[in-house]
Amino acid sequence: MIRKLVRQMLSAQIISAMTVSLCLLIDNIMIGRFLKEDALSAYSLANPILLAIGGIGMMLSVGIQTACGKSLGRGSQEETNAGYSSAIALAGGISLAFLVVVLLLRTPIATIMGAGREGVIFDMTRDYLAGFSLGAPGSMGALVLVPFMQMAGKSGLLIVSVLSMTVADVVLDLLNVLVFHGGMFGMGLASSLSYYIAMLIGGWYFLSKKCVFRFSFKLVTMRKITELFQAGIPAGFTMIASVLLIFFMNRIVRAAGGNSALAAYTVITTLGNTAGGINTGVGGVSLTLAGIFYNEEDRTSLKEVVALLCRYAVILGAAAGVLLLIFAPACVSLFIPEAGAAQDFAIRGLRIFAAGLIPCAVNAALRSAYQATDRVGLMAVISLAEGAALPVLVALVFRSFLGLDGVWMFYALGELLALICIGLMIFLRTRRMPWQGDAFLLLRRDFGVTPENLLERSLTTVPEVVDFAREAGDFCRRHGQSDQISSHISLCIEEMGANIVQHGFAADQKPHHLSIRVLDKDDRWVLRFRDDCRAFDPVQYVPGNAEDGLGIRLVMALAEEVNYTYSMNLNNLMLRLPENG
């Protein structure tokens, strides 16, 4: 079930991330082909501000994934709704404030970014900032809705939204350069409008009765807002690192090769960000699933998820790197069609850049897993080192004896050094190699339930459920439980498990999976049922007559506490029963 879930989420995350990056790629293709090299340089200078608003949105998105992943892991729908309501309100306030500030201060901001005080590049930088800032609420809204669409299992809607955004961006960019001749302001405005289109398409689900989340101003609290920010702090470090990296690299690249090199750097980072959708996808899935399994204290599933994502990171990173290596000339010519220094710089730089995709994707999986498992300080250090300190250091050191080619090594060597440092840290803390057992997770020794206190199984038929129910009863008796409690646990498993297989599996004639865990923890017995059938909340179930749902009502009566959530197309039911030695 986990492998299937990871594949589904990863494909949706990567497609959506690449499609969002595709908007920036299309913008830069249009800018390079129609507005030429100076416009590419202006875009690069404006990029730190664009990253700032995107980083704030990503920080909030990561906070949502972390905080709401924990509440879903605990089975608290009300707490998840509080996170949803607070995130929507917070995103609206921040994006509107950003819009006003950038519009009012775009002239001094352009100067601070290195565009000077006058001239063509200065005017273009200022114009692009104005056009792009108008879309701040749309881009922020789209980023905030993404994790909620994933948690609601609406990966298809997410893909439709971002594809619509891409198509709209292409059409609006063409209208700008061929019909309206709006220059860099028009290019920024085209991106803004495409973000609003994506947000509106995705937003229809959240306005419907089928939405699994409920917005309420009463649930918007300072406590929940603080929690979202605290959970997103590591992403804030990533944002700071990205802004610092672009800010310093603009100066290093310009000093090494002039405006032609700066235009080439824009092309390299734009194509790199598109391929980097792999990193975004791997990191997003790692953060969401690791957060859920960590709060369930499911050590086995946590290890399986992160290890699987690291393997996918290597495969996908290698494939993307080979494609960039082979097709670098064709990709660069989309932005810079004329032969010359800028084109040559970009081709060489892109091929060197491609070598960093594998370590970057693996770093993303591990970094997000550390955040999900409450190692915020570690994640922050990795983010700053990987995102800014090591790449800038590499560029400065290798520039001294390799020139511009040495600068282009900033990404590949920076990511590789970061991965080596993570591996050394794992070895020093655990005295094991990163690939031995679950050493790479850096979990405390007492995390989770010991194997002797845990019984879990994946089931597909009613006879398997019956056999497991009997095994669970014997398991409880071996742990010193009374026949009464042991029988109650066995009965709950048989009734709920059989109900899921008989009704959930048969509903659409598709292959399904049911996972059941029985664990003895903190003087209570906990049963967790997880299946990939259509949504069904047994807590809110209203039978058609007295005989319908008799088994469900019996289980609800036996349990002291019941929590149900539906997330990522999975039913999650947790039952807690008293322990009676």
Q: What is the pLDDT of residue 465?
A: 92
- pLDDT tens-digit map of 6-32: 887 788 778 766 765 666 777 778 888
Residue 581 — very low, low, confident or very high, per pLDDT cuts 50/70/90? very low
Which of 28-32, 94-98, 565-569 has the highest average model confidence (pLDDT)?
94-98
Q: What is the pLDDT of residue 417?
A: 95
Residues near 421 by beta carbon (within 8 Å), at least 6 away in sequence: 385
* Mean confidence (pLDDT) of the chain: 84
Q: 279 exposed, middle or buried (CB, 10 Å; 0-12, 13-18, 19+)? A: buried
Instruction: Of 115-119, 129-133, 249-253, give the lowest mean pLDDT range.
Output: 115-119
**Residue 46 pLDDT greater than 80, yes or no:** yes
- pLDDT tens-digit map of 118-150: 889 999 999 999 998 898 888 888 778 877 887
Which carries the bigger pLDDT value, residue 312 or residue 224?
Answer: 312
Q: How much is the pTM?
A: 0.70
* Residue type at position 545: N
Residues near 188 by beta carbon (within 8 Å), at least 6 away in sequence: 127, 128, 129, 130, 131, 132, 133, 134, 135
Residue 512 — very low, low, confident or very high, per pLDDT cuts 50/70/90? confident
Which carries the bigger pLDDT value, residue 292 or residue 347?
Answer: 347
CB-based contact 418:432 (threshold 8 Å): no
Q: What is the pLDDT of residue 318?
A: 94
DSSP string, 58-86: HHHHHHHHHHHHHHHHTT-HHHHHHHHHH
Residue 549 — very low, low, confident or very high, per pLDDT cuts 50/70/90? low
DSSP string, 188-252: HHHHHHHHHHHHHHHHHHHHSTT-S----GGG--HHHHHHHHHHHHHHHHHHHHHHHHHHHHHHH
Separation between Cα atoms, residue 184 and residue 31, nearest integer Å: 8
**How many residues can be counted in the chain?**
581
Residue with tokens 């915020």: 376
**Residue 80 pLDDT greater than 70, yes or no:** yes
Domain boundaries, the chain: 2-441, 452-578
Q: What is the CA radius of gyration of the chain?
A: 26
- pLDDT tens-digit map of 434-491: 888 888 988 887 777 777 888 888 888 999 999 999 999 999 888 888 888 888 889 8
Separation between Cα atoms, residue 47 and residue 191, nearest integer Å: 14
Residue 224 — very low, low, confident or very high, per pLDDT cuts 50/70/90? confident
Q: What is the pLDDT of residue 170?
A: 85
Q: What is the pLDDT of residue 481?
A: 83
- pLDDT tens-digit map of 381-398: 888 898 889 999 999 999
Q: What is the pLDDT of residue 468?
A: 93
* Residue type at position 64: I
Residue with tokens 């900032």: 129
**Residue 542 pLDDT greater than 70, yes or no:** no
Q: Considering only CA atoms, which of 265, 261, 231 is closest in space to residue 245?
A: 265
**Residue 82 pLDDT greater than 80, yes or no:** yes
Straight-line distance from the first to the last Cα atom of the chain, in angstroms, rounded to the nearest whole number: 34
Could you tell me the CATH superfamily of domain 452-578?
Histidine kinase-like ATPase, C-terminal domain (3.30.565.10)
Task: List b or e across 110-139, with b for residues whose CB sees 16 or more CB atoms inside 10 angstroms.
Answer: beebbbeeeeebbbbbbbbbbbbbbbbbbb
